[in-house]
Amino acid sequence: MRDIPVLYIVIPCYNEANTLPVTAPLFLNKIQELIERNLVQDSSRILFVDDGSKDDTWQIISTLAKNNKYFAGIAQSRNRGHQNAVLAGLMESKDKCDITISIDCDGQDDLNAMNEMVKKYLEGFDVVYGVRNDRSSDTFFKRFTAEAFYKLLRVMGVEVVFNHADYRLLSARVAEELGNFKEVNIYLRGMIPLIGFSSTEVYYERHERMAGKSHYPLTKMLELALNGITSLSIKPIRIISSIGLGVSALSFLMIIWTFVRYFQHQTVPGWASTLDIICLMGGLQLICLGVLGEYIGKIYMETKDRPRYIISKRTDNMEENNELDK
């Protein structure tokens, strides 16, 4: 059995001025409950990560941190996206705690699952995934596309946990190893399983958003899906290579057939067949160029080696760490 850990709850926030007053007390109640049950130490904290919000999110975080020792906050210099915000929180807290639990700000994920997560850590697990036991609260479209996305990732060779988002517990040594992954194009749901270490799952019900509105529209979901596939798998390139070989073989057979028909004097001049072949080949080439271009773009961004996040502000209880760029 492990010693009682110090926990940091990492919560990314983007324009959550309407949500924080509702959910912050719930997070506070949960961490106090965990302390009272002797599951985590009193030095545990709730770390909000302001992802370049344009509303009063940072002011609310600062006020929470001034009024209660369990709250802390950091702010990114600009909006960098959900995955970078989670990473920033994990990297900024990994030297201050034994475990982190990342969770969204909206209150949809069941906070009671944290109790079981910490117990699993005490049993010896280094990674505990929060997994939805059903998606009945989602619309049919979202449920269908989400399940199709997970299946597509697995087909593409990406190791992911089905119905798991970013609600998870990581031990400090897992967070330390995550820091050694230097890629700029981040997809944590696929990166965490690559680290290894002992892992398990905790199942929970996901509720409706408590306040505010979602900042993850369909366009951002598609962008995340594309980033997840191209950042962690080269299978699309192999697929288009296979398609290219197949089309080349088919074209070669068509050429032989055309010559045979020509010498049999059975060919009829026409534009339809020519046009069909041009359209088919042109479409395939554009698709293949698009996939290759996506990977080349990823390589371009990686070679720049830009910082994945930049912290511009910290609450007083986070000021001892003065390293700005990661």
Helix (H, G, I), strand (E, B) or coil at 149: helix
- Cα distance between residue 74 and residue 80, in whole Å: 14
Task: Please indicate, yes or no, if residue 268 is contained in any of the structural domains.
Answer: yes
Question: Per the structure block, which two tokens stand in for 277?
Answer: 């072949």
Q: What is the CA radius of gyration of the chain?
A: 25
One domain for residues 242 and 107: no
Residue 321 confidence (pLDDT) = 45
Residue 260 confidence (pLDDT) = 67
Residue 275 confidence (pLDDT) = 52
One domain for residues 191 and 247: no
One domain for residues 125 and 20: yes
- Of the chain, the end-to-end C-alpha distance in Å amounts to 34
Enclosing H/E stretch for 13 = strand 7-13
Task: Please indicate, yes or no, if residue 41 is contained in any of the structural domains.
Answer: yes
pTM exceeds 0.85, yes or no: no
Residue 239 confidence (pLDDT) = 72
Task: Please indicate, yes or no, if residue 225 is contained in any of the structural domains.
Answer: no
One domain for residues 281 and 311: no
Residue 323 confidence (pLDDT) = 42
Task: Please indicate, yes or no, if residue 192 is contained in any of the structural domains.
Answer: yes
One domain for residues 46 and 169: yes
Residue 39 confidence (pLDDT) = 94
Return the number of other C-beta atoms located less than 10 Å from residue 64's C-beta. Answer: 22
Question: Per the structure block, which two tokens stand in for 229?
Answer: 């596939």
Return the number of other C-beta atoms located less than 10 Å from residue 164's C-beta. Answer: 17
One domain for residues 12 and 57: yes
Residue 216 confidence (pLDDT) = 56
CATH number of the CATH domain containing 154: 3.90.550.10
Task: Please indicate, yes or no, if residue 221 is contained in any of the structural domains.
Answer: no
Strands (E) located in 16-150:
45-50, 71-76, 99-102, 127-132
Task: Please indicate, yes or no, if residue 58 is contained in any of the structural domains.
Answer: yes
One domain for residues 113 and 188: yes
What one-letter code names the amino acid at 5? P
Q: How many domains does the chain have?
A: 2
Give me the residues paired with residue 46 across strands: 9, 71
One domain for residues 164 and 297: no
One domain for residues 311 and 282: no
- Cα distance between residue 271 and residue 176, in whole Å: 63
Residue 324 confidence (pLDDT) = 41
Please state the φ and ψ torsions of residue 269, each to the nearest 5 degrees: -60, 135
Place of tokens 């996901």: 206
One domain for residues 32 and 96: yes
Residue 171 confidence (pLDDT) = 94
What one-letter code names the amino acid at 69? K
One domain for residues 298 and 313: no
One domain for residues 61 and 101: yes
Task: Please indicate, yes or no, if residue 275 is contained in any of the structural domains.
Answer: yes
Q: How many CA atoms lie within 13 A of 49 on its CB side?
A: 29
Task: Single out the residue of 153, 108, 147 nearest to residue 130, CA to CA.
Answer: 108
Residue 215 confidence (pLDDT) = 56
Which domain range does residue 11 map to? 7-213+307-318
Per-residue pLDDT of the chain (326 residues; tens, 9 = 90+): 778 999 999 999 999 998 999 999 999 999 999 999 999 999 999 999 999 899 899 999 999 999 999 999 999 988 888 888 999 999 998 889 999 999 998 888 889 999 999 999 999 999 999 988 876 666 666 666 666 766 776 776 667 777 787 899 999 999 999 888 888 778 888 788 888 889 999 998 877 655 556 555 556 666 666 666 666 666 676 676 677 667 666 666 666 666 666 566 665 666 446 655 765 676 677 677 767 777 776 676 667 666 777 788 888 777 654 444 44
Task: Please indicate, yes or no, if residue 1 is contained in any of the structural domains.
Answer: no
Residue 72 confidence (pLDDT) = 93
What one-letter code names the amino acid at 300? Y
Enclosing H/E stretch for 92 = helix 82-93
Residue 218 confidence (pLDDT) = 58
